[in-house]
Amino acid sequence: MIPKVFKEVIDLGDGREISIETGKLAKQAHGSVVVQSGKCMLLCTVVSNYEQKDVNFLPLTVDYREKFAAAGRYPGGFFKREARPSDGEVLTMRLVDRVLRPLFPKDYHSETQVMIQLMSHDPEVMPDAMAGLAASAAIQLSDFPFECPISEARVGRVNGEFIINPTFAQLEESDIDMMIGASADSVMMVEGEMDEISEEEMADAIKFAHEAIKVQCAAQVRLAEAFGKKTTREYEPEREDKDLEKKVYDMAYDKVYAIAKAGSAKHERSAAFQQIKEDIKATFSEEELADYGGLVSDYYRKAEKAAIRDLTLDEGLRLDGRKTDEIRPIWCEVDYLPSTHGSAIFTRGETQALATVTLGTSRDANQIDMPSQEGEERFYLHYNFPPFCTGEARPIRGTSRREVGHGNLAQRALKGMVPDDSPYTVRVVSEVLESNGSSSMATVCAGTMALMDAGVQMTKPVSGIAMGLISDADSGKYAVLSDILGDEDHLGDMDFKVTGTADGITACQMDIKVKGLSYEILVNALQQARAGRLHILGKLTDTIATPNKEVKEHAPTMVTRRVPNEFIGALIGPGGKVIQEMQKETETTIVINEDPVTEEGIVEILGVGKKGIDAVMAKIDAILFKPVVGSVYEVKVIKMLDFGAVVEYMDAPGNEVLLHVSELAWERTENVSDVVNMGDVFDVKYFGQDPRTRKEKVSRKALLPKPEGYVARPPRDDKRSGGRDNNRGRDNRGRDNRRDDRKPREDKKED
């Protein structure tokens, strides 16, 4: 039986379309759609268990995978099966999760899984831009309690014109690469990188993307209505007790307010809040706590959040005593680690990051191998967030999604300031040693200083800041918070990280937790962020104003050299013998790549100290050496022969040529050793290729004066020589004629 298929088409306005289809695939899932643009197809399925889990959060898993078969490829490596997700897939999972999660009810705790798979790849379509649309469309076809449809769109700008969901080629030319997630009413998530754009330009890009998202949300509504909107499932809500909530609120609010106003440090403040909570619990019997102890904890957290938010809105004060636009104290240090190629410490309040830089060749580039993207990164950043940085002890089980996301944000912030002609592959590693808010922005600041300390010639230094927002819809009050604490991140209405130079924004990441945030508030937050960024940037440049002119003594120096294609084989040698011996003798690393345009060889030489690099350059000069006809060169005898001497050009060791015995001296030379010996150094003149022998000809005698009375030997008689050849040559020996004169051989069998 052919299934009934329901389909909606979204016009992107430039001849491209996105279709959403359901009814054909994965019908046992609670909701499934196929989203297609061009040849790119994503299958998204959603399932949510009907029983509630005994947890106080939504156990939501968003999984995005790209199948290699979608691009007609095999997985790389020995194990020919898709396994752990790549960093690119993890980043897409985070983008979708951050928009979906806030739209589920706070008391919905059923295990929920959203699976998005790239089933067919189109090199002109970036699939991650459609993942949010696919997830939301599938949820709209389910019975999940979900607030409203959402979608995500990428926005680029080429030649001043905004583009929705640009192609890979367009993105290469774009000065903006932003992903925006939103509902029809509100922007909820922004993440991306920019080429030093202004705050107003960023707001315009968000508005442009939001208009496109509204169209995509309307298409989901139409599809759900055509398919048949399901009745939202019923689930067991969390227990409520309004009287208990008021009782806890009355006991906690004033005490929390007083401690919050005192402006204490993180651990002291946390201990004081915990004591208030314990004192409140102590007023209840064991039986009461066994019955609704969880509610007491939940209601205490609500009272704590309300008190801290009111303190900020009413008095403009924050948990650590700062004003809303005040930045925590900062201290910095560079060149802290003696053995790294570059290092820096950035400490802001109770957040600290230690960044290191390692310089390498193109061989050290980070390889990207995804069905939708192949290539390499010559600049990359890794972010580590160990449990001790927050005073906790917990198991470490690989790199978390959070670490991947925060590292990517810092990488995007810095990479545009590393010049394209930088010869090095650069790896930055950030170790977060303390954390109380915005460790990713501390990573950007530490990374900037470490790069400059390493001698990487950054175009401009970059700083970053995390902004927060506390707002009250009823009163219309709001407060934008600069340099937020960890607690302010949890209790606020916005977490907005923005990085940039003195001239503009280079990257951002924003999560908005309230509906209908006005663009006026957004622009105000961006302007306040700029002031904070510039303040922090001043602290960085006070520590190290410009990149060091040279790399450190123990760090490798990189030199690149272009070599014509025809000499690459000689440089590598048979089986790599020449290049391997060079690396061993000079203690350098040599990498040869081909320029795809000119087909020249690009030779990278990485070594500590000038001596080894100079030796490699001399060897390359020798291999590339081409003597000029008529020029004089100094040579050294390296081999004696009966008919001459093999000499080596002193300017090009390894380049040899035969000095024939007849070119040693004007006088007749019976023995080569009568004129030259092993190791002798003298000048010769280069005559190019001898037309008779077709070998290179050099002469010593041409640089010597002719002896008095010297009579040149008569030239060889070519006619006589030719006659001898004609008389005695193979062609004229009569053999062919004799064959012709012979009678045909008789066939004995016929006889």
First to last CA, the chain: 84
Task: Write the CB contacts of 275 (distance below 8 Å, at least 6 apart in sequence).
Answer: none
- Is there a contact between 206 and 190 (Cβ–Cβ < 8 Å)? yes
Backbone angles phi, psi at 202, to 5 degrees: -65, -45
What is the number of residues in the chain?
A: 751
- What's the CA gap between 688 and 81, in Å, rounded? 59
Output the DSSP codes for 222-241: HHHHHH-PPPPPP--PPP--
Task: Write the CB contacts of 480 (distance below 8 Å, at least 6 apart in sequence).
Answer: 324, 325, 467, 468, 469, 521, 524, 525, 528
Task: Write the CB contacts of 411 (distance below 8 Å, at least 6 apart in sequence).
Answer: 379, 380, 381, 428
Backbone angles phi, psi at 284, to 5 degrees: -105, 150
- What's the CA gap between 627 and 696, in Å, rounded? 10
Neighbours of 467 (CB within 10 A): 27
Q: Which tokens in the block code for residue 42?
A: 């994503």
- What's the CA gap between 298 and 404, in Å, rounded? 31
- Helix (H/G/I), strand (E/B), else coil: 316: coil
- Helix (H/G/I), strand (E/B), else coil: 501: strand
- Is there a contact between 700 and 682 (Cβ–Cβ < 8 Å)? yes
Q: Which tokens in the block code for residue 572?
A: 């590598």
Q: What is the largest CA-CA distance in the chain?
A: 133
- Say whether 503 counts as a known binding-site residue: no
- What's the CA gap between 702 and 687, in Å, rounded? 10
Of 133, 75, 82, 145, the closest CA to residue 108 belongs to 145
Q: Which amino acid is at 561?
A: R
Helix (H) or strand (E) holding 467, with range, is strand 463-471
Backbone angles phi, psi at 311, to 5 degrees: -60, -45
Number of helices and strands in the chain (H, E): 16, 29
Exposure b/e, 627-661, CB count within 10 A at least 16 = b: beeeeebebbbeeeeeebbebbbeebeebebbbbb
Q: With DSSP H G I counted as helix, E B as strand and the rest as coil, what are the percentages for the chain, rounded to 5?
A: 35, 30, 35
Q: Which tokens in the block code for residue 739?
A: 């064959």
- Say whether 335 counts as a known binding-site residue: no
Backbone angles phi, psi at 600, to 5 degrees: -75, 160
Ordered alpha helix ranges (H), 67-128: 87-100
- Helix (H/G/I), strand (E/B), else coil: 689: strand
- What's the CA gap between 192 and 505, in Å, rounded? 10
- Half-sphere exposure of 252 toward its Cβ, with a 13 Å CA cutoff? 31
The DSSP 8-state label assigned to residue 694 in this structure reads: -
Q: Which tokens in the block code for residue 500?
A: 């940039």
Ordered alpha helix ranges (H), 511-593: 519-543, 568-572, 577-586
- Half-sphere exposure of 718 toward its Cβ, with a 13 Å CA cutoff? 1
- What's the CA gap between 263 and 316, in Å, rounded? 12
Of 345, 349, 351, 352, the closest CA to residue 326 belongs to 349
Q: Which tokens in the block code for residue 601?
A: 């060889």
Task: Write the CB contacts of 516 (distance below 8 Å, at least 6 apart in sequence).
Answer: 185, 186
- Helix (H/G/I), strand (E/B), else coil: 506: strand
- What's the CA gap between 407 and 431, in Å, rounded? 11
Q: Which residues are annotated as a binding site for Mg(2+)?
A: 489, 495
Q: Which residues are annotated as a binding site?
A: 489, 495
